[in-house]
Amino acid sequence: MTSPTFDLVIAANRLPVDKEVAEDGSIEWHRSPGGLVTAMESVMRGREAAWIGWSGDAGDPPEPFEENGMYLVPIGLSEDEVTNYYEGYSNDTLWPLYHDVIVPATFRRRWRSSYERLNQRFADAVSEVAAPGATVWLHDYQLQRVPSLLRAIRPDLRIGWFNHIPFPPVEIFMQLPGRETLLEGLLGADFLGFQVRADAANFREACRRLLRAPVKGDVVTAPDGRRVRAAAVPISIDVEELRELATSPETLQRAKEIRAEMGDPEVLLLGVDRLDYTKGIRHRLKAYGELLADGRLDPRKTRLVQIATPSRERLQAYRVLRGQIEQAVGRINGDHADFGDTPVVYMRRSFPKEEMAAIYAAADVALVTPLRDGMNLVAKEFVTCARDDAALVLSEFAGAAGELKRAYLCNPHDVDRLKQTITAAIDAPADERRKRMRSMRRAVLANDVHHWAEAFLASLQAAPELPAEESAR
Ligand code: ADP
Ligand code: F6P
């Protein structure tokens, strides 16, 4: 049977939904974790398009199916490919390398060949469903070889790629064995989008230094002579939809209940992250534990709610991190808890959107303190849902810091300064917090997820003849 074809094709490592086999053997589909799906789910609603991606488990892929008007094409990964392409090359080589080597990157030759094979599989699957002259929007570090592999079989397509994570400085990128092949892979695209200007500049510099490719402004000349634009298009959230949810009477009521269930603390601090070593959860807990121990925060009147979505659980670095976090939570509660008073409320699971909005609306101060993050949508979600006098403590190493300049900015590596920043946010007069929140809301509103998608697609259509202005930093 021939498959239908589409004028717009999305490819990302994961489909927007994850396959889970229930106890009775039936198949259930749940929303996939992470910021990519949060953003793209909103953007794709109502558009006729195909989405190519992995279904999230090993084995033969399910047949293509329709979900929310989109045609989803599952890519199958064998158990070996999950180990080598997904856990290995994508998340144990590229992920740490692209996040400032917070943990060491591991280099294995067999992982590289698996990555190449899978990228070819994605390119073939895109080619199958792309109508003549279609627009193809590729996503993230797992698919950096796809642009050139796809161009080789379908030169008629307009190909764009967006990187959801940072692109490292050339001095770090250079460590990667076979580094040129990734750059050549990306240069198969017509337009390459990055979270912030520094990422785009890092990519162009890598092309200049490692491929000797001519670079003029934000345009790189590829080895085949094509001009490829690499520029910043910062990602965002669906502000209108989330604001509506956050200000609904049900959400506001639920926010009150959440506070009441915790004994109506004077100060409610909040962390929401995938359980990932890039997110700085350990540093945050250290700072909080010390503030309690120093007597700066009262364990009877303060709560830290730390929500952590399980992620990449078979990888050693993630297992170690989970142990460290659970030990730290145990230590803080062991030292400071009392009957009815639990200073850290740690929940390692996912919540529905409605509950997330209520948790954001309940908090006084959000602690978004990644050691490195491409953007961090949690920061933007908090600003959208929070009370007018709530405060955001935000790492300077999150892409979001470029837009949310009135957050309480911090260097999470510096635990003393992190403690000072947290207490400054708690102690600030309500009026100051309100002013900061207003300014951050304006920044988020000025660039919501629909604006992001339009900017990306417009740059893709125009590239490279009509370079548009780079947005943000
Ligand atoms: P990343 O893409 O690295 O996971 P982001 O902060 O950009 O980081 O995006 C995370 C997304 O996942 C946000 O939309 C956030 O609301 C969502 N999320 C994080 N933790 C949970 C959770 N426990 N339950 C539901 N959604 C979550
Ligand atoms: O951009 C970060 C990212 O890799 C996205 O692809 C996704 O949003 C998230 O992390 C989830 O990661 P994984 O697909 O490995 O569970």
Cis peptide before 464 (omega within 30 of 0): yes
Which atom of ligand 1 lies closest to the CA of 378?
Answer: 6
User: Is 350's C-beta closer than 6 angstroms to any atom of ligand 1?
Assistant: yes
Pair of tokens at residue 208:
């200049």
Find the catalytic residue in 99, 139, 164, 336.
164
Single-letter code of the amino acid located at 300: R
CA 213 to ligand 2 center in whole angstroms:
30
Q: Tens digit of pLDDT for each residue in 13-32? A: 999 998 888 888 888 888 88
- Report pLDDT digits (tens) over 200-251: 999 999 999 999 999 999 999 999 999 999 999 999 999 999 999 999 999 9
In this structure, the residues whose C-beta lies within 6 A of any atom of ligand 2 are 13-14, 33-36, 140, 164-165, 311-312
Q: How far is the CA of 175 from the centre of ligand 2 (A)?
A: 23
pLDDT tens, position by position, 258-292: 999 999 999 999 999 999 999 999 999 999 999 99
Residues contacting 289, CB < 8 A, separation 6+: 328, 331, 332, 335
Picking from 264, 257, 273, 354, the residue whose alpha carbon sits closest to that of residue 309 is 273
Closest protein CA for atom 8 of ligand 2: 34
What interface predicted TM-score (ipTM) does this complex get? 0.97
Least confident of 54-58, 111-115, 144-148, 387-391: 54-58
The model's confidence at residue 1, banded by pLDDT at 50, 70 and 90, is: low
Is residue 249 helix, strand or coil? helix
Secondary element (H or E) of residue 66: strand 65-67
Q: Which ligand is nearest to the CA of 275?
A: 1
Calpha distance 315→88 (Å, rounded): 9
Residue 377 Cβ inside 6 Å of ligand 1? The answer reads: yes
Measured from the alpha carbon of residue 400, the closest ligand is 1
Annotation marks residue 99 as catalytic: no
Q: Which of 18, 140, 238, 373 is catalytic?
A: 373
Question: The tokens of 265 are what?
Answer: 């603390």
Note the pLDDT of residue 28: 85
Ligand 2 atom closest to the Cα of residue 38 is: 8
Helix (H) or strand (E) holding 243: helix 239-246
Rounded to the nearest angstrom, the distance between the alpha carbon of 261 and the centre of ligand 2 is 32
Ligand nearest to the CA of 369: 1
Map out the domains of the chain with their CATH numbers: 6-235+451-471 (3.40.50.2000), 239-446 (3.40.50.2000)
Q: Which of 386, 415, 428 is nearest to 272 (CA)?
A: 386
pLDDT at position 464 over 80: no
pLDDT value of residue 46: 83
pLDDT tens for 38-71 read: 899 889 988 899 999 999 999 999 999 998 889 9
The answer to whether 218 touches 231, Cβ cutoff 8 Å, is: yes
Pocket test for ligand 2, best of 77, 95, 140 (most atoms within 8 A of CB): 140
Q: What is the pLDDT of residues 315-354, one digit of tens each?
A: 999 999 999 999 999 999 999 999 999 999 999 999 999 9
Question: Is residue 311 in contact with ligand 1, taking CB distance under 6 Å?
Answer: no
Q: What is the pLDDT of residue 466?
A: 42
Q: What pLDDT is recorded for position 465? A: 56
Secondary element (H or E) of residue 206: helix 197-211
CB 116 within 8 A of CB 138: no
Which protein residue has the closest C-alpha to ligand 1 atom 4?
34
Ligand 1 contacts CB of residue 38 (under 6 A): yes
Q: How remote is the CA of residue 34 from the centroid of ligand 2, in Å?
A: 5
For strand 191-194 and strand 158-162, is the pairing parallel, antiparallel, or unpaired? parallel
**Which ligand is nearest the CA of 235, by number?**
1
Mean pLDDT over the full length of the chain? 95
Mean per-residue pLDDT for 463-473?
49
DSSP β-ladder status, 27-31 and 17-21: antiparallel
Nearest residue to 367 via CA among 350, 349, 385, 379:
379
Q: Is 164 designated active site?
A: yes
Look up the pTM and report it. Answer: 0.96
Long-range Cβ contacts of 258-263 (<8 Å, 24+ apart): 258/358, 258/359, 258/362, 259/362, 262/303, 262/305, 262/345, 263/303, 263/340, 263/341
Q: What is the pLDDT of residues 169-178, one digit of tens each?
A: 999 999 999 9
The angle, 0 to 180 degrees and rounded to 10, between the axes of the packed helices 449-462 and 35-44 is: 80
Tokens representing 147 are 């642009």
Predicted local distance difference test score (pLDDT) of residue 469: 45
What single-letter DSSP state applies at residue 468? P
